[in-house]
Amino acid sequence: MFCFMNDVVPSAGDGPVFFRAVLYPHRSLSPRGFRRLMMCVGLFSVGIGTLFFLSGAWPIVGFMGVDVALLYWAFKASYRSAHDYETVELTADRLIVEKVDRRHKRRWTFQPAWLRVSMEDPPRHHSQVTLSSHGKSLVVGSFLSPDERLDFAKALREALHRSRQPLLATL
């Protein structure tokens, strides 16, 4: 999921901002839905485990508990990564990409005059938005859906075009 601003607005220091986007992973299951899912899975596991226990296959009960614990751990790991995000900001003299996760905050800077945005159209599942300039390349928004990646790439290309023509951008 992403939200972006695609109007030219004044900036605090580096001239006008032609494009600003915040990209973040989408999580379709709310915390309330997670609690409900875990309760249903837990009750199901206890029910099935009880049936196995009563039929004499008591070791199965432990495996049923491990299944629930692994599912819980996987969802918690997914929710932790939901706080990751990427920002992309385009000014007249640079494009700044910041990738933030739980442990790191990394930053890349490109010159817009030489920047190329590439993405397959129509998008496929494995298609990526790639920013390239001076032999450097960077994949942006890899957690977005293919259609969201294509929308993002088109919006960034438009903003790059406007930033390269400053007289037209201010009209």
Return the sign of the alpha-carbon dihedral for residues 134, 136, 139, 140: negative
119-129 pLDDT, tens per residue? 887 888 888 99
- CB-based contact 74:29 (threshold 8 Å): no
Residue 95 has pLDDT above 90, yes or no: yes
How far is the C-alpha of 149 from the C-alpha of 64, rounded, in Å?
A: 39
Please answer whether residues 134 and 94 qualify as being in contact, where contact means their C-beta atoms are separated by less than 8 angstroms. Answer: no
Query: How deeply is 144 buried, as exposed, middle or buried, from its count of CB atoms within 10 A (0-12, 13-18, 19+)?
Result: buried
Size of the chain in residues:
171
Output the pLDDT for position 92: 86
| H helices, E strands: number in the chain | 4, 8
Question: What 3 state SS string does 122-169 have?
Answer: CCCCCCCEEEEECCEEEEECCCCCHHHHHHHHHHHHHHHHHHCCHHHH
Contacts of 58 by beta carbon, 8 Å cutoff, 6+ apart: 52
DSSP state for residue 24 in the 8-state scheme:
-
Residue 167 confidence (pLDDT) above 60: no
Torsion of CA 34, 40, 46, 49, to 10 degrees: -100
Q: Which of 30, 60, 29 is nearest to 45 (CA)?
A: 60
* CATH classification for the domain delimited by 2-26+87-170, as one of 1.10.15, 2.30.29, 3.60.90, 2.60.40: 2.30.29
Q: Return the pLDDT at 169.
A: 46
Q: Which tens digit of pLDDT belongs to each residue from 15-53?
A: 788 999 999 887 778 889 989 999 999 999 999 999 999
Q: Are 152 and 144 in contact (CB under 8 A)?
A: yes
* pLDDT for 139 beyond 90: yes
| Digit-coded pLDDT (tens) for 105-123 | 999 999 988 899 998 878 8
